[in-house]
Amino acid sequence: MSAVLSRRVIVKPLHPLFVAEVTGVDLTVPLAREDFLAIWQAFNENEILVFRQQAFTDETQIAFSRNFGALETMEAHAANNYKPGHIAIMTNLDAKGDLLPLDDPGMVHRLRNEAWHTDSSFKPVAALASLLSARVVPPPGVGGNTDFASGRAAYAAFPAARKAALDVMTVIHRVAEPKNVDDPAYSAEQKKRLTVTHPLVRVNPVNGRKNFYVGSHAQEIIGMPNDEAQKLLDEITAFCTRPEFCYSHQWLDGDAVMWDNRCALHRATTFDKTKYRRKMHRTTVAGLAPDTLFATAPTTAV
Ligand SMILES: [Fe+2]
């Protein structure tokens, strides 16, 4: 379908239910309007887009990401040395490129990325999209993948008789895990500000398709006893992450992957962090933009 929008953009499925590889465009230079629209359409259809051989710098990654809307500024925490910006760095390397010790505060903080989650679901306006670009990749087969799970495919396959009740539930998401109490990673101000509610089931505004919206920050359900809510959230997360709804991305040099945080879960897979080097740079698009963007899509990545 995207071929209708662009003569250059080619979209190839990588999984029966979601995930597509996009080729034909260099994302490090300003995009033609029809190319961006084709990518935007593929993003809404496929949840996860894989781009190969993109030589992103932080500047060009930020410029491309801004096509999708305003960028988030990260929250201050140990993994960004409490100096957040538009680029989040997922790595086991220090500024000189040397391996960090496992007990480094930033390394400990990044272990949270190995739980299934959606980025910034603890913010009042949750993230629309994240773009992760590979800067240093571990060798093939040693781990350090990014796993994705389709909350949309899971919702479609979930027992129909239970959906009406789930459709109207509201979930409390918190930045701190698993509860706010005694989590030293965030300040009291952050824990208070970053405790929000979102629907359990979200609807894509472009195509109307529904999905489960869960993950490690989803911790309670409004009006439901905590133990019952935890059991239900665990059940839905386990359902979403069944093998048939999952795709594991093994990173290659030059890869960049953009995912739809509204409907896809993700996690980093572990690897021997004392032996192999891995460095990924992420930009995150805030979630308010898409409706406006779809109506008045920008023409270039400026
Ligand atoms: Fe993440």
Q: Is 301 a member of any domain?
A: no
Q: Please give the distance, rounded to the nearest whole angstrom, from the Cα atom of residue 284 to the centre of ligand 1.
A: 10
Distance 266 CA to ligand 1 centre (A): 6
**CATH assignment at residue 88:** 3.60.130.10
> How much is the pTM?
0.92
For residue 206, report the distance from its CA to the centre of ligand 1, in Å.
Answer: 23
Give pLDDT tens digits for 231-263.
Answer: 999 999 999 999 999 999 999 999 999 999 999
164: containing domain: 2-295
Domain-embedded: residue 47: yes
> Residues 284, 38: contact at Cβ < 8 Å?
no
CA of residue 265 to ligand 1 center, whole Å: 8
Supply 158's token pair.
């979930």
Calculate how far, in angstroms, residue 6's C-alpha sits from the geometric centre of ligand 1.
30
Structural domain total, the chain: 1
Express each pLDDT in 165-178 by its tens digit.
Answer: 999 999 999 998 76
What is the residue-wise DSSP string for 175-193? SSSS-STT-TTS-HHHHHH
Cα 153–157–163 angle (5° rounding)? 105
Query: Residue 271: inside a domain, yes or no?
Result: yes
67 in any annotated domain: yes
Residue 119 has what pLDDT? 95
Interval 205-228: pLDDT, tens? 889 999 999 999 999 999 999 999
Query: Ligand 1 centre and the CA of 117: distance in Å?
Result: 6
| Ligand 1 centroid to residue 89 C-alpha, Å | 11
Say if CB 88 and CB 302 are below 8 A apart.
no
Residue 130 within any structural domain of the chain: yes
